[in-house]
Structure 1
Amino acid sequence: MINNRIIKDKIRTYNLNDTLDFESLYKDYWKKIYIICYGKTANREVSEEMVQDIFISLWNRRNELIITSSIEHYLIKSAKLKVIDYYRSLASAKHKILVDCDLCEHPEFNEKCLEHNESIHKFLEQDLEITIKNLPCQCQKVYRLSREEQMSISEIAENLNISPKTVKNHLTKALNFIREKIPANFVQ
């Protein structure tokens, strides 16, 4: 187990009680966390807020936290949980609107609504998978390593023995292709 105040990572050691070390930690990881949040929400402001919330929470809980993995892994997991919370709050807000309109009081509506949402979700997952399979082979590999395996650009470059710039180009191409095939209003 890693000491709850001194965090050792691949690159360096951070003392969470030292403001300069904490600022260094933020500078080292804010962009990676932002990219994860933005990749899942496609909303710049929401993603920036998520990054701020993650680091504020880390600072506020620095004396009680026990991090058993690398700080990078901890921050990535925090980002994923923050995205899940974001979508839960969106769903809750939509549900509140329906309740306020007395639509959810009818059992037929609830059942139909759930069935409809599940079928839309399955359809979008299938549509996304088909779209990904239509990407060129190398572009598809890069996309899957980035989005499904949560690998960084440098990790993908090393894994596939290509330059980081080529990885970025493949990711841009893949994301543009997916956005073109699956409109954003259906994805959110």
Structure 2
Amino acid sequence: MTIHKLQKNDIKALEDLYDNLYERLYLFLIRISKSHEVSEDIIQSTFIKVWDNRKKLSTEKPLDAQVFVIARNLLLNYIKRQGIEQQVISSLTAVGAEVKDGMQEVYCHEIQDIYENTINQLPKKRKEIYKLRYLKGFSNKEIAEKLDISPNTVENHLSQANGFIRKRMDFLKQSSGFSFLLFCFIKNLNRFL
């Protein structure tokens, strides 16, 4: 209902949304930024962005979740500009797992996107071998036969791919819990198949 009002340029809907979400957004942001001023600035920027992009808001997703994603992304951009991204990324992912009202689903898709982007950064042959092994269920021997390479080459590629992916995904495992990470992976596995 609020999304439709926003899309019809109802400024009162924006004010109501601000009143309803301000405290939750502030608590979310202060836990990560540890700064009152930064949290306030991000909140203001969030609602400006919501208003500027009101026509693009999805009616399929909870509005609260969309607002939290905007706030989180603005905070990430601020952190990157400040050069302190690694200090708070674990806090952000831990808090992200706790946010309710649709955020778990959004967060889960983001983890899956990070995983997919990480796989796509692999060299072409390594990516192909990785997908055949872990996403299609081929054995190392079957992969070697299919690609006309030695089983040792398959093992080397898989070892290097796993090391690369583990390194890129390790912060998620540490901060958001392995079971949640596994849940997200299994839930969205069909995106890769």
The TM-score by the shorter chain falls in which range? 0.3 to 0.5
Higher relative contact order (CA 8 A, sep 6+): 2
Q: TM-score, normalised by structure 2?
A: 0.42
Structure that is richer in helix per residue: 2
